[in-house]
Structure 1
C-alpha cells in the first residue's frame, strides 16, 4: 500500500463534500429526526475524518463521498451506536439456567408487576396501613416465611451477598466451622474461604475432602465459635468413599453447644421437584425443619425468579443481620421486589406451577414437543447454513445449569449440524457458530463432537415463529 503524492492527495481532498451540504440533504432529514442533529453531525464528521485518513494512506474510495453513500454510512453508524449492549438471544445451548445468558426467565405475572412499578410510584418503603415510613422487606417477608416455614426473612441482591452479610453480621472476628469437603468455588472464582476472609470471619476447617464426622465439629467448637456452616456443593459431586454429617445431627450438636447453624443452599428450591420427574433437591422448608437456624439461597435459579439472595431463619438472627451496615449496601430495589413477589405467590398453588412458572415449564417440557419444534425449524435453518452442511433432528441431553444438580441431565431434542461431506469441520463449524451469533437476535448453541448442536428445550412456541422469520428475512446465499 503506497502513499499518494501531494498533488493526488490535494485532488482527492477537493472532492470531499461540505458537511453543511450533506446535513442539508433530503436523505439526512429522517436521520436527524430520529437520532437528533448532534449525533448525526458527529457521525458524519467521523466518517469524513476516516475517509481523509484512508486517502492519506492511499486506500480512499471516491465513490464513498457520494451523497447517498454518505447518508447510508451515517445511518448505519447511528443504528449501530444506538443498539443496546444488552440484547435478547435464542438460548439453544441446552442449559436452562445459563449464568451467561441471564439465568431464570420471569413468568408473565412478574413482568407485568415490574412494568407497573417502572411507570408508577409504589409503596416501596411506605406503610399504607399506618401512613408512616415502612421497611421494604415487609413487602415479601411474610410470603417467604409462609413458603419456607422460617420465622423471619430478608432479601439482598444475590446469594453471594447473602452469605457475605450473614458472616459479616454474625461472625466478624470469630470462627466459622466448615467441612473441608464443602469449601466450594462457584463461577467467577467466588470461594467460601475468600468470602469469609472479606467478612472478617476466621475459617476453621474440619474433616477431609471426602469424609467429615460429627466429632470433627464437636472437637473444635469453642468460645470463639460464631457459626457452624454447611455449604451445598451445588456445582460438583464427590462420590466413592465419602461421609458428610447430616444437617439434623449437626443441628442437634449446635443446639447443645449453643451455636447457630447456617446453611448455604445455593440454588434453593421451595418445592419437591420429584413430583414432576425431576432430580431430588432438598427444599428450603426441609432445611429449616432439619434444624438450620439460617438458610441462604438464590432467587434466580431453581426458584425461577429475579436475581436475589434470600436469607431466612430465626427471628433474632435475621433482626441482627438487618441492622448490619452492609444490609443497606446490599439491599434490593423496587424492580427486584416487584418481580419476586408474584413469583413467590405462584408457589401457593403448586398444582399450577408447572404451567405458570417459566423455569419449571422448561425443565419439564415434553420430548415430543421439542422434537416437533426441531422438525419445524430444520428447513429454514438448512437454507440458512447452505448446502455445505447437513442437519439432523437428534436426541440430546439438557442440563439445569447455574450449579444446580450438576450431575443430572434432562432428555431433550435438537438439531445437529455437521459438514455434508462427513469430514471434520472444526473451522467451518466455528465460522457458522459465529455467523449465528451475529444475527439480529443472536442464536447461541454449542459445539461438541465435531457438530454444532442447537437444543430446542428453551425455544418455546412464541419464540419459534420469530426464530424462523429471522432466518427467512436474510439473504441466505450472500
Structure 2
C-alpha cells in the first residue's frame, strides 16, 4: 500500500474507544491515560508510515501498541527492584530495607488519621518527636533526642543552633565528602558556622584543637570517617580527650558518627565500628547519625545528647523546614523498638540480617535458586561460586563479607545484553557483570525474589 492509503487507514481515537480491549482498560486506568496512549499509538504508526518503515498494519497492531504504552504509563516511576549486587546498603537502590513491622506501621499511619502532633493523654497539641524520643534515649543512653529528615540536615541544624556566626574546630582529616557530592565543609557553611581546620590529613593532636580555641569558638566537632580509612602514619584525638578539652573551656563537643551503629559489630567478627552508645557514655554532648544506613531504618537524621543542647536545637526555626513526616516516624519507631533487645534486632532487621548471616546459609539458598533456574532454562549456564559482599552506603568500607553467588553465561547473548534485559524486566533485577558473566549475590536477594528471577531468565532469549 502507498503511504497515503496507509495514513487514511489509521483509525481515529473515537473509533478505538469502542474496541473491547479499550473499554476494559477504561475500567482499570484513568481515562486521560487511555486517551493519551491511544493517540501515542496512532502517532507512532503515522511516523513509521511517513518514514517508510512499514508497508502494512492492522488495527490489532495499533491496539497491542496501545496496551504496551498504557502499561508503561500505569507503572510507577519509583518501583521495587531486586538487588542482586551484593551491596547491602545500596545508595542507588534505596539503602536499607524496612522490616515488616516498620512497613506495617507506615501503612497503618498513612491510611488513617493519627496522633502525629496530638497528646492523647492530655487531649492537647503534642510534639511529633515524642513518638521516638524515649526509644532513642533508652537505646543510646542520651538525655534527650530529636529527629530530622537526614543526617546532613542534623549536622547543619546542630551547628546552626550551637555555632552560628561562631567557629567550629574540626580535624582536617575528617572533612569528608558523603554521597551525592555533599561535603562536610559545605554543610557547615550553610549552617552559618565558620570552619576552622586543624592538624593535617593524617595526623591531628590535642594541641591542634587547643591552640585554635578562642572566645568565638562555638563547638569542637568530630566527624567519623565511615566511608574511608587512612592507613599508616596516622594519629587522631580520642573522644575522651576531646570531651575533657571541651569541659575545660566550656565548649560543647559534637560528633557526627554517620552510619548510626547501635550494636558492636566486633562481637560478630567485624572490625570495630564506634557505636552511638559509646560516644554518649564517653561524654559527647551531641551525636548525629543516619537512620537508613547501619541502623536499618528509614531516611532520617537522629540527634541525641544532653538535654540542654537538644532543647535549644528543638527551638531552632530551621527545625520546621527539616522535620520528618508521619510515615518516616512510623517506620523509625517500628525499627528502633527491636534495638531494645539486640538479638531481636539482628533477627528482624533486614540490614543486620544481611550483614551478619553466615555464608553457609547463602550457599544453601544459592543451590536452591540454581536448581530452579536449571529446571526451567536450558540455554543459559548457571554456576555457583564464592565471592564477597559489601556493606555499602559509605559504611565499613574495608569489610568484605564472604558470600555465595550464581554466575550466568549464555552463548546466544552477551552478558551486557543479558544485564539490560534483566534491568528492563517488569520487576527490574540489578546484577553485576564481570569477566563475561552475570553475577548475582544471594546475600541481597530475598527468597521471595526467586520466582521473579527464574521468570526473567526464562524470557531472556525469547
TM-score normalized with structure 2 length: 0.95
Partner of 1:231: 223
Partner of 1:366: 358
Partner of 1:134: 126
Q: Give 1:17 shift.
A: 2.5
Q: Give 1:22 shift.
A: 2.0
Partner of 1:74: 66
Provide Cα deviations, 1:78-111, integer angstroms capped at 9, x if missing partner.
1111111111111111111111111111111111
Provide Cα deviations, 1:87-146, integer angstroms capped at 9, x if missing partner.
111111111111111111111111111111011111000011111100100111111111
Structure 1 residues 189, 288: closer, same or farther in 2, change over 3 A?
same
Cα pair 2:40 2:66 within 8 Å, conserved: no
Question: 1:3-14 counterparts in 2 under 5 A?
Answer: 8-14=2-8
Cα pair 2:97 2:350 within 8 Å, conserved: yes
Provide Cα deviations, 1:336-377, integer angstroms capped at 9, x if missing partner.
111111211111122322212221111122212211222222
Q: 2:255 aligns with which of 249, 260, 263?
A: 263
Q: 2:402 aligns with which of 403, 411, 414?
A: 411
Structure 1 residues 374, 239: closer, same or farther in 2, change over 3 A?
same
Distance of 1:121 and 1:41 partners within structure 2: 35
Q: Give 1:300 shift.
A: 0.8
Q: 2:387 aligns with which of 374, 387, 396?
A: 396
Question: 1:319-468 counterparts in 2 under 5 A?
Answer: 319-381=311-373, 387=379, 390-418=381-409, 428-468=414-454
Provide Cα deviations, 1:180-232, integer angstroms capped at 9, x if missing partner.
11010111111111111111111101000000000000001001100100000
RMSD, matched Cα: 2.0
Q: Which SS does the other structure have where 1:236 is aligned? A: coil
Partner of 1:99: 91
Partner of 1:191: 183
Question: 1:245-264 counterparts in 2 under 5 A?
Answer: 245-264=237-256
Q: 1:114 aligns with which of 82, 89, 106?
A: 106
Point out where structure 2 has 5 or more consecutive residues left out of the alignment. none
Q: Which SS does the other structure have where 1:106 is aligned? A: coil
Cα pair 1:178 1:205 within 8 Å, conserved: yes
Point out where structure 1 has 5 or more consecutive residues left out of the alignment. 422-426
Q: Which SS does the other structure have where 2:78 is aligned? A: coil
Cα pair 1:27 1:68 within 8 Å, conserved: no
Partner of 1:22: 16
Distance of 1:19 and 1:414 partners within structure 2: 50
Q: Which SS does the other structure have where 1:27 is aligned? A: helix
Structure 1 residues 368, 21: closer, same or farther in 2, change over 3 A?
same
Q: Give 1:271 shift.
A: 1.8
Provide Cα deviations, 1:452-474, integer angstroms capped at 9, x if missing partner.
321110223233344334544x3
Q: 2:277 aligns with which of 263, 285, 293?
A: 285
* Deviation larger for 412-421 or 396-405: 412-421
Distance of 2:377 and 2:217 partners within structure 1: 62
Q: Give 1:382 shift.
A: 5.6
Distance of 2:129 and 2:206 partners within structure 1: 36
* Deviation larger for 339-348 or 350-359: 350-359
Structure 2 residue 317 is the aligned partner of structure 1 residue 315 = no
Cα pair 2:377 2:457 within 8 Å, conserved: no
Distance of 1:194 and 1:340 partners within structure 2: 27
Partner of 1:151: 143
Question: 1:42-53 counterparts in 2 under 5 A?
Answer: 42-53=36-47
* Deviation larger for 351-360 or 75-84: 351-360
Q: Give 1:416 shift.
A: 2.5
Q: Give 1:26 shift.
A: 2.4
Q: Which SS does the other structure have where 1:378 is aligned? A: helix
Partner of 2:195: 203
Cα pair 1:99 1:402 within 8 Å, conserved: yes
Distance of 1:151 and 1:236 partners within structure 2: 31
Q: Give 1:450 shift.
A: 4.4
* Deviation larger for 440-449 or 91-100: 440-449
Q: Give 1:442 shift.
A: 1.4
Q: Give 1:440 shift.
A: 1.5
Provide Cα deviations, 1:426-458, integer angstroms capped at 9, x if missing partner.
x92222211211111111122234443211102
Q: Which SS does the other structure have where 1:140 is aligned? A: helix
Cα pair 1:52 1:60 within 8 Å, conserved: no
Distance of 1:45 and 1:440 partners within structure 2: 24
Q: Give 1:286 shift.
A: 0.6
Q: 1:38 aligns with which of 29, 32, 40?
A: 32
Q: 1:222 aligns with which of 214, 217, 227?
A: 214
